[in-house]
Chain A
């Protein structure tokens, strides 16, 4: 591993794990494309509504149920039965979907690495208790847990993203904890950890400064793949009427209701589905690319 080898005497730039990974990632076209699309998507959802003053809840009763492009401005993507601009709803809803994906993933990374690292490093009874707890939580259907949390916090928070962040983060950290624990278990008896301990480093310092940097790659890869999982889970919750009031999932759920044999407002289903699908594809391509880049052993 990198830390324990003497630096070469020649003034050659060292090739760190990260620069290697970055080079490998750059060679993966799909992953790069995914990253670019994600950045664009995030910028569009985050900035466009603010720049153009798009209000997803404003009802324009003079343009109810208009098809895309039949109206200028608010009606570019069409409007719904209450005359609300779909371009505004898809973009702002997308902002919420992405935010849920990011924040819930962060929550899961935070809890998962902390718990996993402690369990793996301390070992013994602590490890057993923690992992037994994780196993128990695993055994409970996650949907049940999420619904329970959302019901307990009550309807005043319906549509408020914070309980959703918490609920989704709460179920997603379990796998993360297991992965981190496994990694820490294999690292804690390595020579560099012994060396650090011999130099008098405290346990906390060893975990934070020596072990965590070495499992960061795995955590990043897993986190990237957690984001789309969370977005899908949130969409599913919204579809059931338990998620956010406005997100791609909620919009798809509204869109499905207007599909009928007489006259469908197809755009109500088309736009959120398209945006959701493109984002999920991009996230998965990027996640795959990152895994290939950060974990050379796994490559063909």
Chain B
């Protein structure tokens, strides 16, 4: 009897003791700096992440060839101490820092970077940001050709046979275009030089004859074989001796070959998809190498603790080459999406940096010095699911875009100086002249469009889910927009809230009708807002596809090559005359610099044409407003900039809302030592 009692009491004491120990351990050290990181990161693998909460931590744990200077956000030598660029701007040679080390002490080598960039493009990884580095030779083939070949062999060719059999050999134009659309054929054979095939894919009227069917079947098979071979070649060479590889004569040099000059390439190397990851760790733990007990990074900080829904702790790395310039030793990131909760933590001085306060309180905070606000290169928009039976009609999509009163939303709900948006590219990008947009606020026109599309007063459309991730201001906006669509168009819109991870999974799977989204420019170029809308682009997530758009983005990526066939495509543009003028300017340029400048103007004009397709024809997305970034920063925090130093010495807004943790210092406050 007593022994049992002893046993029980003993067990309780031991359990309590263990509990206390865990508690005591967690209470141990107070961080030097605590910030609210929005949501729980989906992953800390830089090659599969896409969000801002993930990016902030990746910037601390890893370092690319270059890193962003906290003061100016311009790329500085990071993992690479220096680089040379070939005269045609297509070959970069990066010299890797000889004292760069992974946090487990292993040196970071040029081979690690090549391995990581190959990993980013690996078809099995399915990275949504893979396209960001598709300008590297062989990257796109490695990334997409295998699935394209399989798709051609397993779906397109059998589908074509089935269709031809059904119609007795030839195929009516209507079925043909439906087939091309359903099977994403144009995107699958992207880059093909087969003129017959490309002509046929663009055909919208007239029967496809039995002969043509036979011929196109052969074309498909040729494309499939070519792609399978292209993939096999890339598989053997990409990251080994092609595209990105270690200089055979100098193991400390990484060579990168680009398909086209990319003015913002050094900004890309400071962006997380291009960060190196440790091959010796990732190979052993492919799925969970980024968890605290396994992760190895090369950045200023190491991940030491990840308690889901509680905090992520990073500590200064003992192996980072620039550790002497990193001020903070221990940083905590709190996954708090609730604006009121994070504001309360800020007011009690429990956090040093928090996102902006709840919308209602913005006017009050605007008078306080802790409130930091700056125009952002960030756009808030709604994705429309272009594969939805009703929303696949662009007129319906435009009607939705015309029925939202953006000015009232900005003035009455947001109240922070945001700008209403009818286009995706934010104002203020140097040299970019935005096209006219056919969106705006015009309820009459919206109703007329909806009625002529066959849904007068929204009848017959059914329930539309409006998906948003957990956040009070997203919620208020979702409610306002739903109500405006309901009152202005008679649509039955159901605002639907999901956690960040589910929300991301659902938008990726196109399991929504309308979905809130925001896009922060990854670099200062219209391309960052426009290249994501190409067919099947990882961040497209609307199902929208326009071959003309894909071609424009591809031409803008390599203006020099596009100019060779200029006369073939200039007629397809909305403003061919302007393009002709610009092309003539390139041709008549006296010296290479003038030529590059004229080419740059033409490149920006192609983006203008592309954006015109989005907001005069396609409407896959409905922009609402351009963000004003809002943050709460304690007065003792230094090195947190809402204004940046521009190259010419003047000040400019921190458009991307990036505040690298490596540059932050604290000069007081409750956590100062």
Chain A positions within 8 Å of B, measured between CB atoms, are: 57-59, 61-62, 64-65, 81-84, 155-156, 158-159, 241, 245, 257-263, 265
Known contacts A59-B484, A61-B413, A82-B476; is-contact A159 B358 (Cβ 8 Å)? no
B interface residues with partner A (beta carbon < 8 Å): 338, 340, 343-344, 347, 357-361, 364-365, 405, 408-409, 411-413, 463, 465, 472, 476, 479-480, 482-484, 486-487, 494-498
CA distance A65 to B362 in the complex (A): 13
Note all chain B residues with C-beta closer than 8 A to A81.
358-360, 413, 472, 476
Known: A155-B496, A265-B360. 10 other contacts (CB 8 A): A61-B409, A61-B480, A82-B483, A83-B413, A158-B496, A245-B495, A258-B340, A258-B360, A260-B340, A263-B360
Give the complex CA separation of A82 and B358 in angstroms. Answer: 12
- B340–A82 contact, CB under 8 A? no
The residue in chain A whose Cβ has the minimal distance to the Cβ of B477 is: A82
Alpha-carbon distance A63/B368, docked complex (angstroms): 25
CA distance A62 to B344 in the complex (A): 28
Query: Which one of A82, A156, A258, A259 lies within 8 Å of B480 (CB-CB)?
Result: A82
Q: Is the CB of B487 within 8 A of A58?
A: yes
Task: For A64, give its contact among B347, B358, B365, B413 (CB under 8 Å).
Answer: B413
Min CB–CB distance A119 → chain B (angstroms)? 39
Q: Which of B358, B411, B496 contacts A258 (CB 8 A)?
A: B358
Given contacts A59-B479, A59-B480, A61-B409, contact A261 B358 (CB under 8 A): no
Pick from B344, B411, B412, B494 the residue with the most CB of A within 10 Å. B412
| CB-nearest residue of chain A to B486 | A57
Does more than half of chain B's interface fall in helix, strand or loop, or is it mixed? helix
Between A and B, 28 residue pairs with Cβ closer than 8 Å are A57-B479, A61-B412, A61-B480, A64-B360, A65-B360, A81-B358, A81-B359, A81-B472, A82-B413, A82-B479, A82-B480, A155-B465, A155-B496, A159-B494, A245-B495, A257-B338, A257-B358, A257-B472, A258-B358, A258-B360, A259-B340, A260-B343, A260-B358, A262-B343, A262-B347, A262-B357, A262-B361, A263-B364
Tell me the minimal C-beta distance from A67 to chain B in angstroms. Answer: 12
Is the beta-carbon distance between A156 and B360 smaller than 8 angstroms?
Answer: no
Nearest residue, chain B, Cβ from A155:
B496
Assembled-state Cα–Cα distance A3/B284 (Å): 82
Q: Considering the complex, give the chain B residue whose CB is closest to the CB of A241.
A: B497
Q: Which residue of A lies closest to B502 (CB)?
A: A155
A57 CA / B482 CA spacing, docked (Å) = 9
The answer to whether B343 and A61 have CB atoms under 8 Å apart is no
CB distance from A257 to the nearest CB of B (A): 5
Q: What residues of chain A lie closer than 8 Å to B408, measured between beta carbons? A: 61
- What CA separation (Å) do A83 and B487 show in the bound complex? 15
* Least Cβ–Cβ distance between B578 and chain A, in angstroms: 39
Nearest CB in chain B: distance from A265 CB, A: 7
**Residues of chain A contacted by B357 (CB below 8 angstroms):** 262
Given A158-B494, A158-B496, A241-B497, A260 and B483 contact (CB-CB distance below 8 Å): no
Closest chain A CB from B652 CB (angstroms): 31
Q: Which residue of B lies closest to A58 (CB)?
A: B483
A212 to chain B, nearest CB (A): 41
**Which B residues touch A263, using CB under 8 A?**
360-361, 364
Please name the residue on chain A nearest to B506 by beta carbon: A155
Instruction: Tell me the bound Cα distance from A261 to B346 in angstroms.
Output: 11
* CB nearest to B484 among chain A residues: A59
Residue of A nearest to B344 (CB): A260
Q: How far, in whole Å, are A261 and B364 apart by their CA atoms in the complex?
A: 12
Task: Give every chain A residue within 8 A of B413 (Cβ-Cβ).
Answer: 61, 64, 81-83
Closest CB-CB distance, A287 to chain B, in whole Å?
Answer: 35
In the complex, the answer to whether A83 meets B412 with C-beta atoms within 8 Å is yes
Determine whether the beta carbon of B479 is less than 8 Å from that of A156.
no
CA distance A62 to B407 in the complex (A): 12
Which residues of B sit under 8 angstroms from A61, Cβ to Cβ? 405, 408-409, 411-413, 480
In the assembly, what is the distance between CA of A61 and CA of B358, in Å?
17
Q: How far is the CA of A245 from the CA of B343 in the complex (A)?
A: 25
Task: Report how far A64 CA is from B360 CA in the complex, Å.
Answer: 9
Name B479's contact: one of A84, A257, A259, A262 (CB within 8 Å): A84
Q: Which residues of B contact A64 (CB under 8 A)?
A: 360, 412-413
Bound Cα distance from A99 to B195, whole angstroms: 66
Cβ distance A160 to chain B, nearest Cβ, rounded Å:
9
* Chain B CB within 10 A, most for which of A82, A155, A159, A258: A82
Residues of A within 8 A of B361 (CB): 260, 262-263
Asked if residues A62 and B412 are in contact (CB atoms below 8 Å), the reply is yes
A184 to chain B, nearest CB (A): 43
A263 to B368, CA, bound (A): 14
Question: Which of chain B's residues have a CB closer than 8 A to the CB of A59?
Answer: 479-480, 483-484
